[in-house]
Amino acid sequence: MKTTYLGFFIFVFSLASCGQSEKKSSQTDQRAQIESKTSQGIYPKFEGEKGKVSIFGSVPAEENSWINLYETEGKDFFLIDSAKVTSGEFNLTRENIRPGLYKLGLDNNQERLADIILNPEEKSIDLNFSSTNLQYGLSSTNSKENNALSEYLKEERKYNNKLRQIKQSREQGLNKRQAIYDEQTEFKKYQDEIAGENEGTFFANMVRHLQSPYRFDKNKYWNDMDYNDESLIHSAVWPDRITDYMRLHASKDKSKDEPRLGFYNTVDMLATEIMQDGSDEVLEFVLYTLSEGFYSSNMEELSLYVIDNYFYGDACGNAEISELFKRKAAGIRKLQIGNTPPDFSLPNTKGEKVRFSEIASQNELTLVLFWASFCHKCEEEIPQVQKVYKKYKSRGFEVLAITVDKDQKDWLEGIKNHGTDWYNVGDMQGWRSPVSKDFRVSSTPVMFLVNEKLEIVSKPKNAGRLELILSKKLS
């Protein structure tokens, strides 16, 4: 629990002495006085402990199908256990389960996962599904946590549909913003009400924190958060809250010399506050979430700022960043210009493996192009890239196109429609492909231009920019 202070806790961001750049030091020194915060008096503290949980259930799946259990970290998830489905039933037991949001999947289908809550306070839970589409198929459970979650997810879907309708309506300006605000306010009331009905559960703790009670107050926005509460790492709370704060507050804090001042200040403010009041695990997770979020939003200098100053620099405080998170951060670092991205091998249209390093080493420049048959922007961009390819292929230029399709027929049809004769590869795992993850691909098209040493020389945004670079390097 964060310490409760009677007044204001005053400190100075001494960034220059903590491995930070002098430029950012002068910007953040202005935040010399920061309001002390406590979650006491706002929400009850969640007392969650690790423990053993047994899961029993039923699903109308084929014999010898597998039920897969995934642990979540923010918006990401990874497999931690599996059990065979026998006569329509499954069971599995895990030791040292920490309270949080988990997912259940059937076989290799990662598109229709059921969100479930595991909390060792409920040592044995039944989860019965009426459909193989686990996402919407939970029919009954003896779990208070999961009954509440099931009810909440139905209301959340209704809420999201309302927001979508408002955003697509013809209303403009203040009227539309007011309508959105009213829906958000009403849904926050619902969140607090259903949390109150389920006091003491992980569900209540998670739902209460999905929206800040002080959304429009920059100075109080984080007042409800307990920086020692590691359970919220296993939910969407931190990624959603960070995105919300950046949009509402950080994006508006700027100067003529530094248009992204608010983003830098947010990094330093959160890092310093969590170092002061929170756990190392929460700190690591928040820093990595910031770093990956900036990278995905095409703000690479901010992503590098987090990595260089807090993962590998002498950042303020005594926190030790774990090797696991350092390795994760290193993955982002590898995608910066001048660095070497991970090597990989993927099957081509004939099922033959094609290795990235072999293709790149044989050409002066190679474009690694992520695309999809369903991508409308790719429909426009790929013909332009193809023109560039035909112009520069004889000068030492090659293209290695990686699909994020999941259906091989769609992929092959897309290749046929575009008539591309470069290297086409893919593993049909979509966005969950290890290669897509390694290259942090969350949209298409995405391009990486590498030299024969496999070093990234550019990340062109479009075919026009690609041709400009090639005209200088392959003239």
Please give the pLDDT value at position 309: 85
**What's the residue count for the chain?**
475
- The torsion angles phi and psi of 341, rounded to 5 degrees, stand at -75, 165
Residue bearing tokens 């919407």: 136
DSSP per-residue string spanning 163-200: HHHHHHSS--HHHHHHHHHHHHHHHHHHHHHHHHTTTT
Angle at 93 between CA 92 and CA 97, to 5 degrees: 130
Mapping DSSP to helix (H, G, I), strand (E, B) and coil, where does residue 309 land?
A: helix
**Among the listed residues 405, 412, 474, 393, the one whose alpha carbon sits nearest the alpha carbon of residue 444:** 405
Angle at 204 between CA 167 and CA 110, to 5 degrees: 65
The HSE-up count of residue 110 (CA atoms within 13 Å, CB side) is 15
Confirm if 11 and 34 have CB atoms less than 8 A apart.
yes
Q: How far apart are CA 366 and CA 388, in angstroms?
A: 12
pLDDT in tens, the chain (475 residues): 333 322 222 222 232 233 334 333 433 333 333 333 334 457 888 888 899 999 999 999 998 899 999 999 998 898 999 999 999 999 999 999 999 999 999 998 877 899 999 999 999 999 999 999 999 889 999 999 999 999 999 999 999 999 999 988 887 788 888 999 999 999 999 999 999 999 999 999 999 999 999 999 999 999 999 999 999 999 999 999 999 999 999 999 888 888 899 999 999 999 999 988 889 899 999 999 999 899 888 898 998 888 888 887 655 444 556 676 677 777 888 888 899 999 999 999 999 999 999 999 999 999 999 999 998 899 999 999 999 999 999 999 999 999 999 999 999 999 999 999 999 999 999 888 999 989 988 788 999 999 999 999 999 989 999 999 999 998 7
Mapping DSSP to helix (H, G, I), strand (E, B) and coil, where does residue 237 land?
A: helix
Confirm if 222 and 274 have CB atoms less than 8 A apart.
no
Q: How far apart are CA 241 and CA 247, in angstroms?
A: 10
Please give the pLDDT value at position 256: 80
Listed in order, strand segments (DSSP E) in 65-176 are 66-73, 76-84, 89-97, 100-106, 109-118, 124-129, 138-141
Please give the pLDDT value at position 2: 36
pTM: 0.74
Task: Determine which helix (DSSP H) or strand (DSSP E) holds 345, and give its type and residue range.
Answer: strand 345-347
Dihedral, 248, 250, 253, 256 alpha carbons, nearest 10? -120
Supply 108's token pair: 């290799």
Task: Determine which helix (DSSP H) or strand (DSSP E) holds 366, and give its type and residue range.
Answer: strand 365-371
Confirm if 334 and 415 have CB atoms less than 8 A apart.
no
Confirm if 445 and 367 have CB atoms less than 8 A apart.
no
Sheet holding 397-403, edge to edge: 423-425, 397-403, 365-371, 446-451, 456-458
Supply 435's token pair: 């290669």
Question: Exposure of 303 by Cβ count < 10 A (0-12 exposed, 13-18 middle, 19+ buried)?
Answer: buried
Task: Determine which helix (DSSP H) or strand (DSSP E) holds 53, and give its type and residue range.
Answer: strand 51-58
Supply 48's token pair: 């969650």
Query: Maximum CA pair distance of the chain?
Result: 72
Does 259 sit behind a cis peptide bond, omega within 30 degrees of 0 on the bond before it?
no
Q: How far apart are CA 131 and CA 112, in angstroms?
A: 11
What the chain holds in terms of domains, given with CATH numbers, is 9-42+213-333 (no CATH), 51-151 (2.60.40.10), 345-473 (3.40.30.10)
Residue bearing tokens 């259990």: 69
Residue bearing tokens 């987090």: 306
397-403 vs 423-425, strand pairing mode: parallel
